Chain A
Amino acid sequence: MTSTEWLIWVRGPGLQLSLGIFILGMTYRIMQTYFLGRAKNLAEPRGSQWLHGMKTIWWRSFFHPGMTIRGYFTIISGYTFHLGFIITLLFLDQHIELFRSWTGLSWPALPPIVITITAVLGIAALVAVLVDRFADPVRYLLSDYQDYLCWVLTVLPLVTGLLLVYKMWLPYTSLLVVHIISFEILLVAIPFTKLSHVFTIFIARWYNGAIAGYKGVQS
Chain B
Amino acid sequence: MTKAKTLIEHLEQQGISRRGFLKFCALTTSMMALPPSMAPGVARALETARRPSLIWLSFQECTGCTESLTRSHSPTLENIIFNYLSLDYHHTLQAASGEAAEQARETAMKENHGQYLVAVDGSIPVKDGGVYSTIAGISNLEMLQQTVEGAAAVVAIGTCAAFGGLPRAHPNPTGAVPVQELVRDKPVVNVSGCPPIPVVISGVLAHYLTFGRIPDLDDYGRPLSFFGTSIHDRCYRRPYYNKGLFAETFDDEGARKGWCLYKLGCKGPTTYNACATVKWNQGTSFPIQAGHGCFGCSEPDFWDAGGFYQPLSAGIGSVGGVAAVAVAAGAGAGIAAGLAQQSQRKHAQLQHEKVTVADLKESES
Q: Which residues of B contact A147 (CB under 8 A)?
A: none
Residues on B with beta carbons closer than 8 Å to the beta carbon of A100: 314
* CB nearest neighbor in A for B248: A106
CA distance A98 to B306 in the complex (A): 13
A144 within 8 A of B: no
A-binding segment of B8-16, B33-41, B98-106, B315-323: B315-323
In the complex, are the beta carbons of A98 and B315 less than 8 A apart? Answer: yes
Bound form: Cα–Cα A102–B311 in Å: 13
Q: Answer yes or no: B301 CB below 8 A from chain A CBs.
A: yes
Kindly report which residue of chain A lies nearest to residue B242, judged by CB atoms: A112
Establish whether residues A16 and B244, one from each chain, have CB atoms under 8 Å apart when the complex forms. Answer: no
Distance in angstroms from B326 CB to nearest chain A CB is 4
Q: Does B356 make an interface contact (CB < 8 A)?
A: no
CB-based contact B301/A16 at 8 Å? no
> Which of the four size classes fits the interface of chain B?
35 or more
Q: Is A127 an interface residue (CB 8 A)?
A: no
CB-defined contacts of B314 to chain A, threshold 8 Å: 11, 97-98, 100-101
Q: Are B305 and A8 in contact (CB under 8 A)?
A: yes
Q: Provide the bound-state CA to CA distance between A35 and B299, in Å.
A: 51
Contact flag A35-B315 (CB < 8 Å), given A11-B306, A24-B326: no
Residues in chain B within 8 A of chain A (CB atoms): 219-220, 230, 232-233, 242-244, 246, 262-263, 269-270, 299-302, 304-306, 310-317, 319, 322-323, 325-327, 329-331, 333-335, 337-339, 341-342
Question: Which residue of B302, B306, B326 is within 8 Å of A23 (Cβ)?
Answer: B326
Cβ of B230 to closest chain A Cβ, rounded Å: 6
Please report whether the interface of chain B is mostly helix, strand, loop or mixed according to DSSP. helix
User: How far is the CB of A22 from the nearest CB of chain B, in Å?
Assistant: 8
Contact: B263 with A16, CB < 8 Å?
no
Are B316 and A36 within 8 A (Cβ)? no
Residues of A within 8 A of B (CB): 2, 4-5, 7-8, 11-13, 15-17, 19-37, 93-95, 97-98, 100-102, 109-112, 167, 171-173, 176
Which B residues touch A22, using CB under 8 A? 326
Contact B243 A111 (CB under 8 A): yes
Residue of B nearest to A31 (CB): B334
Taking the nearest CB of chain B, how far is it from the CB of A102, in angstroms?
Answer: 6
Query: Which residues of B are found within 8 Å of A109, using beta-carbon distances?
Result: 244
Neighbouring A residues of B233 by C-beta, 8 Å = 167
Q: Which residues of B contact A20 (CB under 8 A)?
A: 319, 322-323, 325-326
Residue of B230, B232, B244 with most chain A CB atoms under a 10 A cut-off? B244
Question: Quick check: B335 and A16 within 8 Å, CB to CB?
Answer: no
A20-B322, A33-B338 given; 6 more Cβ-contact pairs under 8 Å: A11-B305, A11-B316, A24-B329, A24-B333, A35-B335, A102-B315
Chain A neighbourhood of B246, CB < 8 A: 93
Q: Are B244 and A15 in contact (CB under 8 A)?
A: no
Cross-chain contact B315 with A21 (CB below 8 angstroms): no
A-B contact pairs, 25 of them (CB 8 A): A4-B302, A8-B316, A12-B317, A15-B315, A16-B317, A16-B319, A19-B319, A19-B323, A24-B326, A27-B329, A28-B330, A28-B337, A32-B338, A32-B341, A34-B334, A35-B338, A36-B342, A93-B244, A93-B246, A93-B262, A94-B312, A112-B244, A171-B230, A172-B230, A176-B312
> Chain A nearest CB: distance from B311 CB in Å?
4
Known: A16-B319, A23-B330, A98-B314. A7 touches B270 (CB 8 A): yes
CA of A173 to CA of B310, assembled, Å: 16
Are B323 and A4 touching (Cβ within 8 A)? Answer: no
In angstroms, how far is the closest chain A Cβ from the Cβ of B21?
A: 37
Among B310, B330, B339, B342, which residue has its beta carbon within 8 angstroms of that of A25?
B330
A102 to B262, CA, bound (A): 18
For B324, the closest partner residue in chain A by CB is A23
Check A32–B334 contact: CB distance below 8 A: yes
What residue of chain A has the Cβ atom nearest to residue B337's Cβ?
Answer: A32
Chain B residues, Cβ within 8 Å of A7: 270, 305
Judging by beta carbons under 8 Å apart, are A16 and B322 in contact? yes
Contact of B243 among A11, A34, A36, A112 (CB under 8 A): A112
Return chain A residues, CB-CB under 8 Å to B230: 171-172
List the 8 closest pairs (A to B, CB-CB), nearest first: A35-B338, A31-B334, A27-B330, A101-B314, A12-B316, A23-B326, A94-B313, A24-B326
